[in-house]
Structure 1
Amino acid sequence: MKISLRILLTCLVLALAWACGSKESGEKKKIVIGVSMLSLQNEFIQQVSASLEKHAKEADVELIVVDAERSALKQVEQVENFISQQVDAIILNPAEFEASSPAILRAKKAGIPIVNVNSSTKEKPDAWVGSDDAESAKMAIDFLAKKLNGQGNILIIQGYMGQAAQIDRERGAVEALKAYPNMKLLATQTGEWDRAKSMSLMENWIQSYGDQIQGVFAHNDEMGLGAMQALLDAKKKDKVVVVSVDGIGDALKAVDAGTLDATILQNAEQQGAQAIALALDLIHKKPIKESQVLIPFQVKTK
């Protein structure tokens, strides 16, 4: 009887374990997406990240968001960690065009779908969503040319060197300037997407060029706002047109106040929404209508 009782109890335990296991296996596994952002200290990148989180929540998707802190090496390591965690997909906001490319290769080798958002890499991901950075530069140069009647001396503050937006905005500006032979580029240098560094750079340029400066194109709003502040402090802003890219909150306020002449708005909300949608389509192996989704820029003036 003791033996029979033991057998009965063992069978009951096994039956309960099987039932619990069956229940767990029958439950829908939550989708997990790993996200590596180039810098969460940057306001526009914060906006893209917020949009990703918003649309992931709406889709009941778990996001693991990490900050690469502008380091491509760190970004590649973060993607390797996502692979070891066996996430369902990866969204990459690349720190650099070439140096972040190994992250794409590692994800593809592991069979994990990868989507680039806002910026690009030399290696092609499974899908990409962002805006045409060369076009934003053309819009900025065209704006300067219109305000300056096609002639004058300008400065260009570039983004972090080697990052795709910097490369494309520089290329777009160089091409656009060909249409305006009476506009002269006095100097160009990186401000590393940073407001304080760009303010310091602009202060140096004011010392070097003084009243020769008629226009400034900054690759992003943080740098544009830094340049604007340096010009305001030197009491020269009323003689210099400043335009930058992104459409962050501070830039829109400065445009409304008339201190920043224009910002070329790119839509962070749509970039985040489309990146989540593309990642989910790839996870569910749905056919992708467009592997590259372009969100248009808009010129915002007072």
Structure 2
Amino acid sequence: MTKSVTLISALLCMTTLHLSCNQGGTGEQGQTGDSKKLVVGATMLSMQNEFIVNIADEMEKKANESNVELIVVDAEHSPLKQIQQVESFIAQKVDAIILNPCEVEASSPAVAKALAANIPIINVNSATSAKPTAFVGSDDVESGRIAMKYIAEKLGGKGNVVMIHGYMGQAAQIQREQGAREVLKQYPNLKLLAHQTGEWDRAKGMALMENWIQSYGNQINAVFAQNDEMGMGAVKALTDAGLKDKVIVVSIDAIPDALQAVKKGTLDATVFQNAQQQGTMAIETAVKAAKGETYQKETLIPFQLVTKENLSNFMNQ
């Protein structure tokens, strides 16, 4: 009897030990029972914009690699909605927030609210007047300079240019216009014939270009579209009007459609903006800030001009 009781007791102890090990050991996510998975909330300008979607996709990849829970929401171009989304993240007590701002001024309260709640907020791709914990993106003034410089050189410093803006008041729109106008000042015989917003949208860029073709026709020598979506719209309008061979079109972002258009020769050039690095670095910075580790306050990733000559360097990026 004594031996039987002893054996049963030993088996019970082993079972209890096995259960406690399972409860406190590594789970399916590779976490220990008392470790905390970081949660990062991200509010994006528009998930209808291909380049912004590319950034969000890269953020998701990096978050998965880093065992971070990423919550991505679409602000749908609304600063008010974006502020409400940040307020929701604060209420959820996320560890960090990534903000892809809708506007420089109107999205700034979102930054202030996050900082007041002691939650790190990382601006990705675009700026706000309120200073966030950190910024990850590129110098949009540089992209405007690159695009307009290419146009100026192709036209020999003389001709008429139209410029299609992104959403008015957004950092990329303001800064890309600034860079373009800096170059225009250097070429007194290069005239800005017309400029208007296409709101980063392909269909709106096409409609705007159709209006300009009716108004100015053969007077237009070049188009600077502040992103590829609008640039592709301009290309379509010019092609339909039989004018594409006479007009230079340059845009920004180097999305796959634009790279294919450069390959075909319908788009003269685009300016590569690195979505992969922006998305990856945004997550890395958010994680470091949340953990109280050292991080870069500003990460600027260079733009690069893409033409037929160097297209092969960008087709697989």
**TM-score, normalised on structure 2?**
0.87
Q: Which of 141, 152, 157 is the matching residue for 1:150? A: 157
Matching residue's letter, 1:298: Q
In structure 1, the partner of 2:274 is 267
CA distance in 2, matches of 1:233, 1:26: 63
- 1:103-182 alignment to 2 at 5 Å? 103-182=110-189
In structure 2, the partner of 1:101 is 108
Matching residue's letter, 1:77: Q
- 1:31-50 alignment to 2 at 5 Å? 31-50=38-57
Matching residue's letter, 1:86: K
**CA displacement at 1:23 relative to structure 2:** 4.7
In structure 2, the partner of 1:187 is 194
CA distance in 2, matches of 1:46, 1:26: 34
Say yes or no: does 1:300 pair with 2:301: no
Matching residue's letter, 2:225: A
**CA displacement at 1:122 relative to structure 2:** 0.5
After TM superposition, the runs of 4+ consecutive aligned structure 1 residues lying more than 3 A away are 22-26
Matching residue's letter, 1:110: A
Say yes or no: does 1:214 pair with 2:221: yes
In structure 1, the partner of 2:290 is 283
Q: Unaligned regions of 5+ residues in structure 2, if any? A: 1-19, 26-31, 309-317
In structure 2, the partner of 1:86 is 93
Structure 1 residues 182-216: Cα deviation after superposition (integer angstroms, max 9, x where no partner): 10010000000011011011011001101110000
Matching residue's letter, 1:58: E
CA distance in 2, matches of 1:198, 1:273: 30
Q: Unaligned regions of 5+ residues in structure 1, if any? A: 1-18
In structure 1, the partner of 2:15 is none
Work out the number of aligned pairs and report it: 284
CA distance in 2, matches of 1:274, 1:287: 14
CA distance in 2, matches of 1:206, 1:282: 50
Structure 1 residues 261-299: Cα deviation after superposition (integer angstroms, max 9, x where no partner): 0000100000001101111110111122x3010000011
CA distance in 2, matches of 1:228, 1:134: 24
Matching residue's letter, 1:279: A
Say yes or no: does 1:76 pair with 2:89: no
- 1:14-53 alignment to 2 at 5 Å? 23=24, 26-53=33-60
Matching residue's letter, 1:297: F
Structure 1 residues 230-254: Cα deviation after superposition (integer angstroms, max 9, x where no partner): 0000000000000000010100000
In structure 2, the partner of 1:12 is none
**CA displacement at 1:27 relative to structure 2:** 2.0
- Aligned to 2:196, the other structure's residue is in SS state strand
- Aligned to 2:186, the other structure's residue is in SS state coil
**CA displacement at 1:173 relative to structure 2:** 1.0
Structure 1 residues 132-166: Cα deviation after superposition (integer angstroms, max 9, x where no partner): 10100000010001111111000000000111100
